[in-house]
Amino acid sequence: MSRVFSWVMLGVSIVAMGAAMTLGTSAAVPYFGPTWPFLTFGGSPSSTTVTTLTWTAAVAAGAGVLAGLYALRRGAWVSPRRLLIAGAVAACVYALLPPTGSVDMMNYAIYGRIADLGRDPYVTTPLRLAHTGDPVGLLLPSGWQRVPTVYGPVMTFIQWLAAHFGGNSMARIIFLLKWANAAAFIGTGVILHRMTGPDPVRRLRACLLWTANPLILFWMVGSGHADAFAVFFLVAALYAARRSAFAGGLLGGAAVAVKASFLFPAAGLVIAAWLSPARFRRASAAVAGLLLVGGGGYLLAGPAALHSLGARLGRKKDRYLPVPEYILTHHGLYVVWMGALAVALTAFLWWRSGLPFALWRRPSEATRRLPLDVLPVAVLAFGTTLVSPLQYPWYDAMLLPILALLPYRRLDRTLIARGVMLALCTLPGVRVNGYQHFYVRWANLVWLAVFIVVVWWGTRRAAAGPPADSPGLTSPSSVSPPSSSPAPA
């Protein structure tokens, strides 16, 4: 029964969200000028209609994924390859539909247009482009008009490439970007399929968390967020690091050069290399690759790139965790506050994961079964993302693929519930209820408390040392090979 329910809910979610995308300009679909080559009816549906469709899609997505994960208790209930192909087909369909759920893709198009015109997108604002009368700049959305790009040089290059071939049409630039997003989304799914090995249960779980997850499909392709590229490079780095720490560092640096927030999980690649045999050589190679692409990219972009990023983090509008007003009014105190939260959560996850036994003791039979090539990346990704002042549903795109490579299945339901919660607080996206911002703050705080309890309860025996047959939450039969293994999973 749970298998049939999962299929029905996944289908309902994909269709409902697709309907909201094709109806026309609305509270979910921004106006971006002439719509060709996108497929759309060109109507003007009411806010109630698109809100109902998008909220139905969000709830159905969560129900479908949870039901599919529950059905895995009895084994694989469908071919992972078929589910992977189905997700890839849905991604291609979403690439043909207008951008939905936010105005971010319009900002991407404008930044790409600025770069294509020979100007610096880290200095030139969209409003300045609009003042020149440029047809792409005149379609600038509100909110980011005076903000230069905050994305890394690799993402800026992708935006420039789309703008170069898209010309002076906002729709054509976005269309090319959406197809690039679809390629990155599918590529991530294929790599996860390879990394999870021959076990059909593990492969099917990875598909449910990523490729066949309608919410992730929507945010990465339908809404077209830049996280799709950063996640692709990060997952590719995890795969490449099993053969070459330097290659892993290069791809990790590319993820950082898409979005600076990926610096923390990318640093986990260095820790993973340190935990492997020949630690000095592998860790040095990982650092070299990370600095070459990540550091070199930002060095070429210049100090304006870092200044723009700092200005973005200083905006009070995007505080999605309750912070005392006194701390918000003192920037230095705010930085210390958020840094302390990130360090505290990261240290907690590090302790409960069993990594201290691998780091400070000689490898034992228990620590060898820890997924040492993924676990440091996961700890830093979760520890910094979940207490970040910026909380959007598409940020979970960093967490779900990493979780799919770990055997901590108790966290699956918790993270899926978070995705639904954030989606309901964000959708329809372009125009939202003013009260939603208030609700999402306290909803995030409650969810974070639940997450800590789940981690504590699930790893309650880890404090005494990982037993020989069960390191932390891991199961010996489901742990991925450590980074010292030269062979792919």
pLDDT digits (tens, 9 = 90+) for 164-208: 999 999 999 999 999 999 999 999 999 999 999 999 999 999 999
Question: Does 467 or 150 have the greater pLDDT score?
Answer: 150
Q: pLDDT tens for residues 446-489?
A: 899 999 999 988 765 433 333 333 323 333 333 333 333 333 33
Q: Which pLDDT does position 436 carry in this prediction?
A: 60
Query: pLDDT category, 359, cuts 50, 70, 90?
Result: low
Tokens of 372: 């040492």
Q: Indicate if the pLDDT at residue 57 is higher than 50.
A: yes
Task: Give the pLDDT mean for 208-219.
Answer: 98
How far is residue 52's CA from residue 370's CA, in Å, rounded to a whole number?
44
Q: Which pLDDT does position 329 carry in this prediction?
A: 74
b vs e for 89-106, b when ≥16 Cβ sit within 10 Å of the residue's Cβ?
A: ebbebbbbbbbbbbbbbb
Q: Indicate if the pLDDT at residue 442 is higher than 70.
A: yes
Q: Which pLDDT does position 327 carry in this prediction?
A: 78
Say which amino acid occupies 359: L
Q: pLDDT tens for residues 67-77?
A: 999 999 989 99
Judged by average pLDDT, the poorest of 50-64, 131-145, 265-279, 320-334 is 320-334
SS3 43: strand
* Chain mean pLDDT for the chain: 87
Q: pLDDT tens for residues 403-437?
A: 999 988 889 999 999 999 999 988 998 976 555 66
Tokens of 354: 């069993």
Tokens of 212: 């066949």
Question: Does 467 or 144 have the greater pLDDT score?
Answer: 144
Chain center to CA of 447: 18
What are the residues whose beta carbons fall under 8 Å from the beta carbon of 73, sequence distance 6 or more?
A: none
Tokens of 78: 């469908």
How far is residue 326's CA from residue 250's CA, in Å, rounded to a whole number?
41
Query: pLDDT category, 313, cuts 50, 70, 90?
Result: low
Q: pLDDT tens for residues 97-128?
A: 999 999 999 999 999 999 999 999 999 999 99
C-alpha distances (whole Å) from 249 to each of 72, 291, 376 are: 34, 8, 14
